Amino acid sequence: MANHHGSEGVVRVGANTVAEVTGFSFTATAEYAEDTTLSDTAKTYNVTAITSWNGSVTAFWDETDTTGQIALAPGANVSLVLAPEGVDSGDTRYSGNALVTEITRNVQRGAITEVTFNFIGNGALTAATS
């Protein structure tokens, strides 16, 4: 079984790597409807084939990253690549168009300023290998 260390992860907006990323997460879901009948002895479900995805990216704020962090502006629809294994040959990555819904900046005395970009998928999330 292969394990991966968090330091391998990469986030890209199009072909541009987002600078100073400290972590990211994403969730993919499928809608379903219960189709249990009166004669069933256990619940059953039917997947409706409607999928969705969302997530967030956290980074140390870098205002000079014009093609990465600055491109992740609220309301922006971007081509997003989430690569938990990195971008070496054979690594799995996930990509799709994403709508940036929210940005939160965390400023603390004695700490590096962090920024979190929240997004929702605007279409399908696809998995591929590099």
CATH of the domain at 95: 2.30.110.20
Reference 118, options 80, 87, 89; nearest CA is: 80
Q: What is the DSSP letter of 7?
A: G
Question: What average pLDDT does the chain have?
Answer: 93
Q: Is residue 42 part of a domain?
A: no
CA 63 centroid distance within chain: 21
How many structural domains are present in the chain? Answer: 1
pTM comes to: 0.88
- Which domain does 24 fall in, by range? 6-30+47-129
* CA dist., res. 62 & res. 78, Å (int): 18
Q: Is residue 62 part of a domain?
A: yes
Q: Is residue 39 part of a domain?
A: no
Q: What is the DSSP letter of 18?
A: P
pLDDT of residue 1: 52
Q: Is residue 41 part of a domain?
A: no
pLDDT of residue 10: 95
More confident residue, 34 or 75: 75
Q: Is residue 37 part of a domain?
A: no
* CA dist., res. 96 & res. 115, Å (int): 22
Reference 80, options 62, 54, 106; nearest CA is: 54
Q: Is residue 40 part of a domain?
A: no
More confident residue, 32 or 7: 32
pLDDT of residue 4: 73
% of the chain surpassing 90 pLDDT: 81
